[in-house]
Amino acid sequence: MGISKYDPAAAGRPAWNAGRQIGAKRALKIRQIWSVRFFLDREGRMRDRALFDLAIDSKLRGCDLVKIKIGTLVAGPAIRARSMVIQQKTGRPVQFEITADTRASLLAWLERRGGTIDDFAFPSLPDGHLSTRQYARLVDEWVTAIGLTPEEYGTHFLRRTKASHIYKATGMPSVRRAKAPRHAALQMRPRPARSVSTPFAKPTAIACAQ
């Protein structure tokens, strides 16, 4: 919202975005993804590791991610390979894949967390689940821990990360890679070859040393 030059109360009031970086946030690189994972594993933060992995895999908005329930993620004693949620913003269902690494981190967290299928996967007070503000603070902490500038990243960059790497691996134009894809558009595309997801596989010792 702008400031009118005819409003005396607005005289000297800085613009809301003064000194802030606006526009699309960067997507994480493969090496940065694993740096965050190594940091969370080293600190023993099982909940944060599961939240980080699920944020990348699901490509959900923060408001949908923090409200996800255990029953949405599990099928019996195992973690689902694919799941579906109703988006808060659009009211439409969206399906997403849960990769092996994410299933492992989710299973480890949920075994410690306990609860029933009707409980939130990432609990907190007073709403019963993490707030989007708490989630944003966690994201700032993660990127800061690996030496990145938090102003250049936000919760939305996790939503764009996986799609950005898929587009890059399949040779999509950089202009289209720059935008966060709509889930419906992704579902309509042919499923990429297995080699597309290999950048998210566990890195070798040589890759980590680079």
Looking at residue 159, what is its pLDDT? 84
Looking at residue 40, what is its pLDDT? 97
Angle at alpha carbon of residue 209, lines to 208 and 210, rounded to 5°: 95
- Domain architecture of the chain: domains with CATH: 25-190 (1.10.443.10)
Cα–Cα distance measured from residue 93 to residue 71, given in angstroms and rounded to the nearest whole number: 16
**Cross-strand partners of 120:** 69
**DSSP state, 98?**
-
pLDDT average, residue stretch 150-172: 80
Residue 71 in tokens: 């029953």
Q: Is the pTM of this model over 0.75?
A: no
> Would you call the peptide bond into 192 cis, given omega within 30 degrees of 0 as the criterion?
no
pLDDT average, residue stretch 178-184: 46
- Quote the mean pLDDT of the chain: 80
Q: What is the pLDDT of residues 6-56, one digit of tens each?
A: 666 666 777 666 666 666 667 888 999 999 999 999 999 999 999 999 999
With bands split at pLDDT 50, 70 and 90, how would you rate the model's confidence at 208? very low
pLDDT average, residue stretch 71-100: 94
**Which amino acid is residue 177, in one-letter code?**
R
Q: What is the pLDDT of residues 99-138, one digit of tens each?
A: 999 999 999 999 999 999 999 999 988 778 999 999 999 9
pLDDT average, residue stretch 54-61: 94
Between 116 and 3, whose confidence is greater?
116
